[in-house]
Amino acid sequence: MHPLSLRELNDIGVERLRGVGERKLKSLTEFGISTVLDLLTFYPRRWVDRTNEARLSDLEPGREALVLVTVRSVVKRQTKNRKTMVTAVVGDGSGRLTIVFFNQPWREKQLREGVNISLFGRPDVFRGGLQMTNPVVDMIGDRTGRIVPIYPQSEKISLNTWEIAGFVENALERCEARGIADPVPASIRARLGLVDRASALKLIHLPETMADQARARRRLAFDELLRVQMVLVMRKRALEREQRGIRHDTSGELIGRLRAALPYTLTAAQERAIIEIEHDLAGPHSMHRLLQGDVGAGKTLVAVSAMLTAVQGRHQAALMAPTEVLAEQHATSVRRLLSGVSVPDPANLFGDRPLRVELLTNRVTGGDRRDVLAGLADGTVDIAIGTHALIQDAVQFHSLGVVVVDEQHRFGVEQRAALRDKATGDAVPDVLVMTATPIPRTAAMTVYGDLDVSVLDELPPGRTPIATFWANGPLDEIAVWADVCEEAAAGRQSYVVCPLIDESEKLELASAQETFDRLQAGELRELRVALLHGRMSSNDKEAVMDRFRRQELDVLVATTVIEVGVDVANATVMVVLDADRFGIAQLHQLRGRVGRGSKPSRCWLVTQTEPDPVTGKVDPSPRLQALVASTDGFELAEIDLELRGEGTIMNTAQKGRSDLKIASLRRDRELVAQAREVAFELVDADPLLERNTVLLDEVRLLFSADDEAFLFKN
């Protein structure tokens, strides 16, 4: 009989395992475990090495540790501010430790006297003894063995780690007779030093040593990364096989005219990206390239260079942005860049003709809209800049050659494809995707693995560094508003960003409306302040932005609608309220709205963090610490990946059950690169995986129908 495939394991329900009755089945289902495959890939979240565990007598204040202890006593009480506090005393024969939980009343029932638990946390000295506040608790029961696997647990679901381990052991025993299929060829396993899959699944759950666990984890992480890369590499190769590109003429003089008109020289990174893009444009396949660069790194100029390559070969170019504000911003900056550039035209009496750039959004109506649509259809519009309005049915291009998509994470693959489908004939336009959110290299190889990547990793000369400060509580805020007023007195402008439009009692966040009202009546009453948020009509939004650009306003109170693309050189202060509610990438984007002129700029990250109930100290979150310390978007992207942990990044690339369960884009940088290499090796030797049906079936099983429909059309 052939070994068990993942699909067969997925077809066997966990109710067939020993000890899984109706009640346990319900609990397992609540954990997302309904099949044997779910169970075998429900990996321990950590492993306790009983030969190497700390004793309570070894604990040092301030140093995190993992200890195995027995609960001696538990008490629940209410504090003065009506919060619940559960205190337990634990011991292990070498000493005692107090553990305290705030606002977790269920801990009283969980921590019954005599129960064995593992604790992970940082002990501090409190009233002469050691205490851990809100440590991570795992119920471990009486499992023996040198290495104890600890599975994710929940107080709401009555399943202990040792019960899950028992079900896993039973499943592995019952797989032994047939074995488990391995889609990675033995030669590749030997070259990369990978154990076989059956051993990996056994050793991840039942390791004899921590070295066993590490070998198993490496193999299973490689499998996850390989499946993702197979999808991306197969998609990339399928596009190259199926789509004929336009071979653009890169020898024309239009790019030279643009360069001659610039008042500055390009950075080395811009030069490199332009060469990479021109190489793609001259080739037989249509380009699929990601251009990523930090805020202000000069992506627009690189994109304009790509679009002009299309124009000089008598094709058209389109730039698609996610919002009308951003599309209008792009139209302004592209027209400014190209103001002195004309197109060589032998048919023209003067030898040249003007370059025609048009904006198309839903706000362009009537006769203006008809003119733009006619110009796109007859080829007299060279460059179209717009929103999703560019992909509406009424829009027809004469000969679309290059498509630039800005801020890719706001566009679906379908929208990208719809814009490509505007091509005339069977040649597919070249696609350049831009993002100002720097992405760690490993994540780019995963999330954007079907695209080639160009990176702008240096800033043009003349960009002023932005100093970033953390302000916590009402006293610190006084300095923030004083700074805003001083800048206004010097003729400069500021942004104030809030996370919500309406007051939310649940989250107690400052809303834009409430903040606007408060500042206008209070700290900023002498200044000209306006409000901008996503629920305003497009016309109202643009009117406010115009007033801000014309310096008729000192302060713009806004929601995150200003996150991308707003470019006002006179703005020097960015104030972000409730900054701890934003992610690193978003805060970095917001900060990039200032520092665009020659004047020094500042970003204030304002929070209302309460002091620690035990130490009395107030510390900024690691996210805010990172932003205060660095303005390097790529460094911040790596820190962001570190802080956010695993799996989440995959949601933007794939749907379904393909999220990373054990692989880590930060810990497994080397494995990501190896998996990508192996994917190319396998796909180039066997494009439709006809000789590796086990791997083909796994990819089909673990990725969604949408991906499958795209990938496996022959």
- 230: three-class secondary structure by DSSP: helix
For residue 47, what are the CA distances in angstroms to 31, 153, 184, 220, 461?
20, 14, 27, 16, 51
Q: What CATH class does 249-282+298-435 carry? A: alpha beta
CATH number of 51-144: 2.40.50.140
- Strand 342-344 vs strand 352-354: parallel, antiparallel, or unpaired? antiparallel
Task: Report the CATH architecture of 466-630.
Answer: 3-Layer(aba) Sandwich (3.40)
Distance of CA 682 to the CA centre of its chain: 28
pLDDT at 156: 64
Q: Which amino acid is at 252?
A: G
CA distance 660 to 675: 14
CA distance 627 to 469: 9
Secondary structure (DSSP) of 179-223: -B---S-HHHHHHHTPPPHHHHHHHHHS-SSHHHHHHHHHHHHHH
> Any idea where the domains of the chain sit in the sequence?
6-45+164-202, 51-144, 220-242+650-711, 249-282+298-435, 466-630
For residue 229, is it left (φ>0), alpha (ψ between -120 and 50) or beta? Answer: alpha
CA distance 575 to 556: 10
- For the record, the structure tokens of 222 come out as 């490689």
Closest CA to 136 of 148, 153, 149, 156: 153
CA distance 714 to 699: 16
Q: For the beta carbon of residue 144, count every other beta carbon within 10 angstroms.
A: 6
Instruction: Give strand pairing partners of 320.
Output: 386, 405
Closest CA to 40 of 69, 78, 14: 14
Q: Which amino acid is at 505?
A: E
Is residue 78 exposed (0-12), middle (13-18) or buried (19+ Cβ within 10 Å)?
A: exposed
Q: Which residues, 6+ apart, have CB-to-CB distance to 150 below 8 Å?
A: 44, 45, 46, 47, 48, 118, 138, 140, 161
Of the CA atoms within 13 Å of residue 41, those in its CB half-sphere come to: 25
- Cβ atoms of residues 667 and 440 within 8 Å: no
Averages of pLDDT over runs of 10 residues in the chain (714 residues) are: 92 92 90 93 85 82 87 90 90 92 88 87 89 85 70 73 88 94 96 97 93 96 92 84 84 87 88 95 88 84 95 92 84 89 79 90 90 94 91 87 77 62 76 81 71 83 83 92 96 90 51 88 94 82 88 91 71 94 87 86 93 76 91 82 57 45 82 93 94 93 64 38
- Cβ atoms of residues 321 and 406 within 8 Å: yes
For residue 101, what are the CA distances in angstroms to 81, 118, 620?
15, 15, 21
pLDDT at 379: 92
CA distance 451 to 236: 7
CA distance 456 to 454: 7
Q: Do 466-630 and 51-144 have the same topology in CATH? A: no
The overall pTM is greater than 0.75 = no
pLDDT at 517: 92
pLDDT at 649: 43
Tokens 């570190």, residue located: 642
- For the record, the structure tokens of 546 come out as 């115009």
CATH number of 6-45+164-202: 1.10.150
pLDDT at 650: 43
pLDDT at 293: 85
Q: Which residues, 6+ apart, have CB-to-CB distance to 405 below 8 Å?
A: 319, 320, 411, 416, 419, 431, 432, 433, 434
